[in-house]
Structure 1
Amino acid sequence: MSRNDVLEDARPEKVLEEIRDDFGTLRVTEADAYRFLYFGEQTEQSCTFTVDPAWLEYDYTRAMLLALFWLPQPPRVTLLGLGGGSLANCVLAHFEPGQVTAVELRPAVVDAGRRWLGLSEDPRLSIKIGCAEQYISQAPASCDLLFVDLYMEGGISRLQLQAEFFLRCHKALRPGGVLVINQWQLGASGQPYAGRMLQKLFGDYYLQVPVEEGNILLLVPESGQLFLEKLALRQWADDIESRLGYSLRPYIEALRRASDGPAYS
């Protein structure tokens, strides 16, 4: 059963726990085989398939995996923003990373992940509690893959609108590394929320993947450009489909260079 099936059934989600911390309220709910992490009352932050906590339900998290095509093995991976932990679980279960470091502002999010959402106990997973900006400023050339997925109850984090923050994220990459940024789409423009700023920072040397949820994923290389070899990408996706349980081909077909996206009005 997919998340859409759960919604269509219109059965109320059972609240498993409500937590208050210095940043607001967290809620963990359950519907059938799915559990959800909410920031506040309405902001659904994460979805976990309890049968397989490494399963990625959201299109945008699946699209994030495309960056692994260009990376050396085994990669060192950093996540800014843990959420329910599904992305960390997936990377650990299916991509043989050397290490995964997750930076999370709220200890209560980590506690909820461990108690309710199947957050991995793999010894390769290191969780740092604190500010993403402070952490990344002190971590130059520390990872091969950096996921930036910072959202709060009210929406996108202020950090994801700041040029200096993204420059520090870029400096955190080791040679050959890739920075992956989860941005909202700017209205109906087909461009990411901070797209103009990102183009000024990185030129047209990054790739974009728009997904149905309204997000746009940006894949930014440490240097040079990511060659858009769709034939090789499709073969890579086919090779890993059996272990993931879903295909990454839809996101490969949507993959484009930043310069090929819709023009700003």
Structure 2
Amino acid sequence: MIRALSALYSSMTLLKRKSIEAVASRRPARGERETSRRKLSGDAGDVDNAGEKRMTPRFAPVTFSEMDGVRYLHFGTEWVQGAMRLRKPDAIELEYAQQMMAWLLFLSPSAADFHVAQLGLGAAALTKFCHRQFARAKVTAVELNPAVIVAGRSMFGLREDDARLSVREQDAWDFVMDGAQTASIDALQVDLYDATARGPVLDTTAFYRACRRVLKAPGVMTINLFGDHESFPKNIVRICDAFDNRVLVFPEVHDGNIIALAFNGPAIDVSWETLEARAEVVEATTKLPAKDWVKKLRAANARQEERLAI
């Protein structure tokens, strides 16, 4: 499915542009140690029912910087966790974050019941963009650290909740494990890193299966991964396991991020020319570089040169 994964690893230094779930110390194998006792139909073995006491999260400090008209979000280090161009506060500034919107190639957010959710708020770029751009869609953001939510509203122009927007102070694990969320989301955007960017905070097969459960059919998950890190290959394997190998990847961007797309629902068999036509519409309506997405997806994924069949 994925061509030459080893070619995605570079010798570059650790990435400084990462959106994260702001947890200063990672909970080891949190998805497998969760104390939730919910029984999930047909997959109860994914949930640890041992009753282990949950760890109290410790949050990194929320700090900011500005350079060349761009405001950056930090968590007590020089690492950039999100960004906003001051003259375009509702635009998506970072390339990898733009690629998190690539589900637009496959889904149309025009329906009144369309629901897009972000796990990990960061600088609220995705949340703000979706809320502004898709006038009929419901937008939900899930963020564990209350200070990140405050920063989003005070420093990054995140609006107060309304009939379509809901920003929830909640653990992403609890959100996807909530039975009420089953098959409720069309597009799920996952960007969950700890303060040292050692890999996604939630990265178990159980977590990715839960992400699939919350998706409608059809539904798409986009997820931010870090190519130049040991967490990348294991996450790709687990996502492929959870989504029956229905996974595409973008090439690594200059910051080291790799965005993956995982699909739920009916099989997709479409010509690249059709996707290019869709990309032209997306680009015209959103100003996102959708035509470049098609080119990069076609180049980066094996056995997809003639048609996209997944």
TM-score by length of 1: 0.81
Residue in structure 1 matching 2:286, options 244, 251, 264: 244
Q: Which residue of 2 aligns with 1:80?
A: 119
1:62 aligns with 2:105: no
Cα distance in 2 for partners of 1:89, 1:50 equals: 14
How many residues were matched structurally?
Answer: 240
The 8 Å contact of residues 81 and 102 in structure 1, kept in 2 or not, is answered as: yes
In the superposition, the TM-score normalised over structure 2's length comes to 0.70
Secondary structure at the counterpart of residue 203 of structure 1: coil
SS at match of 1:210: coil
| Residue 113, structure 1, aligned to residue 149, structure 2 | no
Q: Which has the higher contact order (CA 8 A, sep 6+)?
A: 2
- Kindly indicate which of the two structures has a greater share of residues assigned to strand: 1
1:209: Cα distance to partner? 1.3
* Alignment partner of 1:45 out of 75, 81, 84: 81
CA contact (8 A) 1:59 1:211 kept: no
CA distance in 2, matches of 1:58, 1:143: 24
1:214 maps to 2:256: yes
Within 1, Cα distance between the matches of 2:244 and 2:218? Answer: 17
| 1:33 CA displacement | 2.0
> Aligned partners of 2:223, 2:245: CA distance in 1, in Å?
15
Q: Aligned to 2:173, which of 114, 127, 133?
A: 133
Q: Structure 1 unaligned segments of length 5 or more: list them.
A: 1-19
The code of the aligned residue for 1:126 comes to S
Separation in 2, partners of 1:38, 1:77: 25
2: CA distance, partners of 1:170 / 1:30: 37
Please state if 1:100 is matched with 2:139.
Answer: yes
Give the Cα–Cα distance (whole angstroms) in 2 for the partners of residues 177 and 201 of structure 1: 14
Alpha-carbon spacing, 1:59–1:225, altered in 2? closer, same or farther (3 Å): farther
Aligned to 2:238: 197
Match of 1:231 in 2: 273
* Aligned residues: CA RMSD: 2.6
Q: Tell me, in whole angstroms, the C-alpha distance in 1 between the residues paired with 2:256 and 2:279.
A: 23
Residues 1:147 and 2:189 are matched in the alignment = yes
Shift of 1:101: 0.3
User: How far did residue 216 of structure 1 move?
Assistant: 1.8
- Cα–Cα, structure 1 residues 118 and 164, in superposed 2: closer, same or farther, change >3 Å? same
Quote the sequence identity (%).
29
Classify the secondary structure of the residue corresponding to 2:62: strand
